[in-house]
Amino acid sequence: MTVDLPIIRLRPKTKPQAIRHGFPWVFADEVVTDRRTRALRPGGFAVLEDAERRPLALVTVNPESRIIARVMDPDPEAVIGREWIAARLRRALALRERLFDRPFYRLVHAEADGLPGTIIDRFGDAAVIQPNAAWAEHMIADIADALREVTGVSTVVLNGQGRARALEGLDERTEILSGALSGPVEVPMNGAIYLADLAHGQKTGLFYDQRPNHAFGQRLAQGARVLDVFSHVGGFGLAALAAGATHATCVDGSAPALELARGGARAMGAEARLTTRQGDAFAQLEALAEEGAQFDLVICDPPAFAPSKQALEAGLRAYERVARLAAPLVAPGGYLGLCSCSHAADLSAFRNASARGIGRGGRRMQLIHTGQAGPDHPTLPQLAETGYLKALFFRLDG
């Protein structure tokens, strides 16, 4: 197959060891980008060679992206087709079936599961694909066919939204590729019931990555008054109600997301213990302070304030502000959970910003738990971006 594929070559000063040791990306400034390379079709395949013309891997290329090549297979002779995709899906499925009793999980976590730039979340008999790389966009029919074959799902949704697609030069689009949806899907998780809007919701409709952090929060929520800020469809709030919280307040800017949170509470028989507040989270935190509100457990799970290195400084200031505004709302001896899904802000930077904010909020703290994404979001040690989620739980005094 190598004779049929174009070749891209590393620059002489670019060391190939990273690729040989599992790093999955090649950046545009690391390859010889002549006219032939720039003319390659986004999403096509090529053989990556080192400067001495030794094959390194089969890659997918996108001259329009800063990540010009993504490793598809370390075997330059590999054939990328439906059977190759199905083999990767079977491997991913075997892990999830060992981890979970019911088919609700992230099935494919992009590079970490060997399908670069591709996210697949499973919701029982339905699955949502996010093709965030050009190759996956072009081969979406093969991915969907292999997905149905391997998992047996009948409904497959393409969710083509988000920043990652824009960086690949891909348009936004959402489409039901097979099957049908009659409304939000009920998702059981940690004893709670969530409603996920697979066709119109944020990302794939639900954030499975917080599952273990929801579970830890449940330990602190029994008999507690709980505030869940940036709640989306009620992630931490509904988990807290399932664990025996006396009351939960969910704050989010999205009215549809809060309606799904209320629907989840109804499905759990806990609607009377849930309050929702729609609006800007920072403004709501300030308003709650003015009202003199106090909670035994406050959890803030904001969007990525630092989605890139360029946004890091401003993002860390935003995380600090969240902590500063949230800390006074925690009753003495209560708990504060702070989360970040920004891969550009590493754990140390996020922890320092959170601690500064808590201190400036006039509180003393103990850090009692550090969490990450669940095991259905495996990480590549070579690629920090796959380990993006951080969750810090503090006990506050003073």
Q: Which of the residues are catalytic?
A: 341
* Angle separating helix axes 140-151 and 82-99, nearest 10 degrees: 40
Spatial separation of the C-alpha atoms in residues 312 and 334, rounded to whole Å = 30
Question: C-alpha angle with apex 207: 204 to 210, nearest 5 degrees?
Answer: 165
In whole angstroms, how far apart are CA 268 and each of 193, 207, 240, 242, 304?
6, 19, 12, 8, 30
Spatial separation of the C-alpha atoms in residues 199 and 129, rounded to whole Å = 11
The token duo for 221 is 């929520």
Backbone φ/ψ region at 155: left (φ over 0), alpha (ψ -120 to 50), beta? beta
What DSSP state is assigned to residue 160?
E
Element containing residue 67 per DSSP (H, E):
strand 67-73
**Unique residue bearing structure tokens 């329009």:** 64
The token duo for 21 is 């040791």
Q: How many CB atoms lie within 10 A of CB 183?
A: 10
Distance of CA 105 to the CA centre of its chain: 12
b/e map 123-147, b = 16+ CB within 10 Å? beebbbbbbbbbbbbbbbebbbbbb
Largest CA distance in the chain: 71
